[in-house]
Structure 1
Amino acid sequence: MTFPKYPEYKDSGVEWLGEVPAHWNHGKVRYFAKLESGHTPSRNKPEYWENCTVPWFTLSDVWKIRSGLTKVVYETKEKVSELGLANSSARLLPADTVILSRTASVGYSAILGKPMATTQDFANWICGKKLFPEYLLSVFRAMKSEFSRMMMGSTHKTIYMPDIAELYCAIPPMHEQYKIVTFLDYEAARIDALVEEQQRLIKLLKEKRQAVISHAVTKGIDPDVPMKDSGVEWLGKVPAHWNHGKVRYFAKLESGHTPSRNKPEFWENCTIPWFTLADVWKIRSGSTRFVHETKEKVSALGLANSSARLLPVGTVILSRTASVGYSAILGKPMATTQDFANWVCKEELQPEYLLAVFRSMKSEFSRMMMGSTHKTIYMPDIAELYCAVPPITEQAEIVAFLDKETARIDALVEEGESAIKLLQERRSALISATVTGKIDVRGWQPPTDSTASTEAAQTEVV
């Protein structure tokens, strides 16, 4: 679908806006909406934090609006008292106030669905008679690159209030603002439906991938092979000619360790790769087989004075603390922290096969985890893990089969993720083009034919 341009434009003098329709107004947002900041009542005054009934939007609530799909917010994690509010520079903001996060999580916006206060991490805009809140929300959601340009700070990103006060926008007549919001609601909903469809497909593909791995390491790849009961619930029946038992019967189990931080000499001349929880992100996807680099290193002296050791290439590591159940194979000699169980395979067990076994055990690891927030599988439980072990040549065949099947599924997942990225880019481009007047939607009407649901994927911004 293509959209026409306006018949006449003028230069806005603002880089991110460019040319805008000749009949539109433009200027600093604060000319059209009252700008206010939030605040935090003193934590040193206990009485300010008693009888808290006023909804108070904080950075703990930003997760609700990160996706850009939520338009209106009604609930907050925290509340503040009327006394605390009265003794701070914050105030109770009316419904329809447009809020914009400006600290740490920068550039996320929403509309208050009921009266609320916010912390100082938000810039709050109470729209005047010439500005529709839903339109201003769309403007802010078109300004991602502008917010990135304005952010200050190396790690703790912030847009300072004087810079917030200089934000510019283009303001069409009110009836056009309503039309733009209606148009964007409709078009964004269609794109979001396509994104959701792709997400469902990706979820099904990932479930299929898990099932393929699980079936291969418990039932094999020969459908006609005789079976026997393993006596292990998660394994069920296994091929009759396979061995089965505790993993430690087929691989030597070792734990990692952390040399004492109180011994500075243990942390000098660190040259030995040391796999820690800071490296788990590399193996979360389940697609990475070998790891070769680590964020941290440890010294030979530190290693010699701890219960860890340098593990050989081919060791299969399994995270067991905090981020539980992620696995990989060491591509070079490394040590690990105590957050990992490490398996040095014996002759009858191929590391790549054991890796596949661990990646099939997601539900088993979930069952074994202990702790309410800090999840852990304790080493005695790790030592009781069971697996089925086919002959070594059959292990190689299973690994080759899984390489082929998972690669096929991963390619489909990648296609779906690329489609989602493209759809989201089109969504952002459509919002930006509309609120800067690059397309004219005054004559737009919602399609009524049966092809409407597929047009979002073909939307072209001109």
Structure 2
Amino acid sequence: MKPYQDYKPSGVAWLGDVPHHWHLERLKFFARFAGGGTPSKGEPSYWGGDIPWISPKDMKRPLIDESEDYITATGQTNSPCTLIPPNSVLIVVRSGILQHTIPVALNTVTVTLNQDMRALIPNDRVESRYLAYQINGCQKELREEWVKQGATVESIEHQRMVDSRMAVPPLAEQQAIADYLDSETARIDELIYEKDELITLLREWRRTVIADFTAGVSHPGEKKPTGNIHLPKIPADWAMVRLGKYARIGNGSTPLKDNIGYWDGGTFPWLNSAVVNQNEVQEGSEYVTEHALQACHLPIVEPKSLLIALTGQGKTRGQVAILRIRATINQHLAYLDLDSEHFNEDYLFWTMTGMYGALRMVSDGQGGTKGALTCDDLSRFEVPKPPLDEQKKIASRLYVEAAKIDDLIAHTKDEITLLKELRAATIADAVLGRVDVRTVKQ
């Protein structure tokens, strides 16, 4: 694609020069604005209808045709909610997410909004898709211009937004830009989707490799039944044992945060459950004092122990890490201080990682709503126990194999980052007139 032949100064620092035949116009002169609100939660007849009620949590895709919550016609007429026509530009105006992005979407059906949203409804001189792309393509600049600084929760200042000057090409050109970007972003989004799918497959492959090695799948010789639903068979010369037989298991606590004697000037590492997101723990989440260790009876956990998250939303609960330093822990972590004559910590780390699904099943009460592990659960939890020399060989091999897969995952993530940068640059170049999309070869 080629640039335009003639440019002119826009007079707006972040827009720079724009094509000579484009004009600059304040947002309020080509769009009207509509907001929303929340119908009374205490009135059941206002909720569960067929009118989408859009809030920031729904703004995860470029086209909106449904929502998590719906209101009734009665709820709409008895609240600040107005009906927003299709093909309006929806934006989030109050949310912590405004620290790094302005979520933008088009609604394909009539919707209502909550109080943290605004609709920009363009007149017949502006294409909705073009306006949405312009906001998307100028995220950094518009956040600096629109977002109120120093607020408790980030919010867009309405007057700043409506007074901002935007680049407005002729309508036919806006439509050409939007058509081009629809095609290009769809192509890039498909590539990103394929990369995301590849990462999913690589992670599944990683779990399979770990499970196979720690269960002795490729181990030569006979297999024997274990009676364990999570690991039905293991090599005949291995044993299936309870962790409590070969490990001292316990958990910790959190000293009172408002007692400065427990925290101020502390030097002893104190860990929270976030540490299980890394394979090895080399430093504290925070640090407590010697007084806190004694007064709160905090456990001293030795290096080479395993740490397991007892609670947590998402994937945290059941994750495992190896402790490489002397530390104490909070109540959401358990430690396994292993009998080194029977278990190698690296092997057991990989084994527990491979049995993550089994730990989650135990924590969920096998279908109940328990949602947590206990030290008793861990004490009764069964794991395979090969001879110690074989444990070390398995652990060494898994560090090598997992690293290969992790490198592939990291490389694929880098490719996704580059694709997202390409997507953003493609939008910015088109909506700021850096390239003339009408010159693209079909």
TM over 0.5: yes
For structure 2, list consecutive stretches of 5 or more residues without a partner in the other structure: none
2:335 matched to 1:342?
yes
From 356, 372, 389, the equivalent of 1:362 is: 356
Correspondence 1:120-135 to 2 at 5 A: 120-135=115-130
Note if contact 2:46-2:73 (Cα within 8 Å) is conserved in structure 1.
no
Correspondence 1:50-69 to 2 at 5 A: 54-62=51-59, 65=60
Judging changes above 3 Å, is the alpha-carbon distance between structure 1 residues 437 and 251 closer, same or farther for their aligned structure 2 residues? Answer: same
2:282 matched to 1:292?
yes
Note if contact 2:219-2:235 (Cα within 8 Å) is conserved in structure 1.
no
2:431 matched to 1:441?
no
From 290, 304, 318, the equivalent of 1:314 is: 304
From 124, 128, 144, the equivalent of 1:149 is: 144
Deviation at residue 393 of structure 1 after TM alignment:
1.9
Q: Which amino acid aligns with 1:241?
A: D
Judging changes above 3 Å, is the alpha-carbon distance between structure 1 residues 99 and 173 closer, same or farther for their aligned structure 2 residues? Answer: same
Counterpart for residue 238 of structure 2: 242
Note if contact 1:250-1:346 (Cα within 8 Å) is conserved in structure 2.
yes
Counterpart for residue 13 of structure 1: 11
Counterpart for residue 177 of structure 1: 174
Mapped partners of 1:349, 1:47: distance in 2: 58
2:138 matched to 1:140?
no
Q: Which amino acid aligns with 2:332?
A: D
Counterpart for residue 454 of structure 1: none
RMSD: 2.7
Counterpart for residue 88 of structure 2: 97
Mapped partners of 2:78, 2:182: distance in 1: 39
Note if contact 2:276-2:307 (Cα within 8 Å) is conserved in structure 1.
no
2:67 matched to 1:71?
no
Q: Deviations over 1:411-453 (max 9, x none)?
A: 111111111110111011001100111111114354xxxxxxx
Counterpart for residue 4 of structure 1: 2
Judging changes above 3 Å, is the alpha-carbon distance between structure 1 residues 420 and 260 closer, same or farther for their aligned structure 2 residues? Answer: closer
Mapped partners of 2:37, 2:69: distance in 1: 13
Note if contact 1:38-1:119 (Cα within 8 Å) is conserved in structure 2.
yes
Note if contact 1:198-1:420 (Cα within 8 Å) is conserved in structure 2.
yes
Over the matched positions of the two proteins, sequence identity in percent amounts to 27
Note if contact 1:42-1:48 (Cα within 8 Å) is conserved in structure 2.
no
Counterpart for residue 403 of structure 2: 407
Mapped partners of 1:51, 1:367: distance in 2: 33
Q: Deviations over 1:173-223 (max 9, x none)?
A: 111111111111111111111111111111111111111111111106x64
Mapped partners of 2:151, 2:47: distance in 1: 37
Query: Helix, strand or coil for the counterpart of 2:196?
Result: helix
From 386, 390, 394, the equivalent of 1:390 is: 386
Judging changes above 3 Å, is the alpha-carbon distance between structure 1 residues 31 and 214 closer, same or farther for their aligned structure 2 residues? Answer: same
2:273 matched to 1:271?
no
Mapped partners of 2:369, 2:421: distance in 1: 36
Note if contact 1:49-1:84 (Cα within 8 Å) is conserved in structure 2.
yes
Counterpart for residue 449 of structure 1: none
Which deviates further from its counterpart, 53-62 or 13-22? Answer: 53-62
Q: Which amino acid aligns with 1:92?
A: L
The number of aligned residues is: 430
2:251 matched to 1:255?
yes
Deviation at residue 316 of structure 1 after TM alignment:
0.4
Q: Which amino acid aligns with 1:360?
A: G
Q: Deviations over 1:146-186 (max 9, x none)?
A: 23323323662222112111333211111111111111111
Query: Helix, strand or coil for the counterpart of 1:4?
Result: coil
Mapped partners of 2:410, 2:260: distance in 1: 45
Mapped partners of 1:231, 1:84: distance in 2: 57
Note if contact 2:48-2:70 (Cα within 8 Å) is conserved in structure 1.
no
Q: TM-score, normalised by structure 2?
A: 0.89
Judging changes above 3 Å, is the alpha-carbon distance between structure 1 residues 163 and 265 closer, same or farther for their aligned structure 2 residues? Answer: same
Q: Deviations over 1:276-335 (max 9, x none)?
A: 23xx1x433xxx322122333334344334464111111101001123111111121111
Mapped partners of 2:363, 2:44: distance in 1: 41
Q: Deviations over 1:110-138 (max 9, x none)?
A: 11222222233223211111101111111
Mapped partners of 2:5, 2:52: distance in 1: 46
Deviation at residue 37 of structure 1 after TM alignment:
3.3
Note if contact 2:27-2:161 (Cα within 8 Å) is conserved in structure 1.
no
Judging changes above 3 Å, is the alpha-carbon distance between structure 1 residues 92 and 182 closer, same or farther for their aligned structure 2 residues? Answer: same
Mapped partners of 1:261, 1:172: distance in 2: 57
Mapped partners of 1:355, 1:195: distance in 2: 32
Correspondence 1:214-233 to 2 at 5 A: 214-219=211-216, 223-233=219-229
Which deviates further from its counterpart, 158-167 or 417-426? Answer: 158-167
Mapped partners of 1:127, 1:374: distance in 2: 50
Deviation at residue 16 of structure 1 after TM alignment:
2.2
Mapped partners of 1:232, 1:374: distance in 2: 21
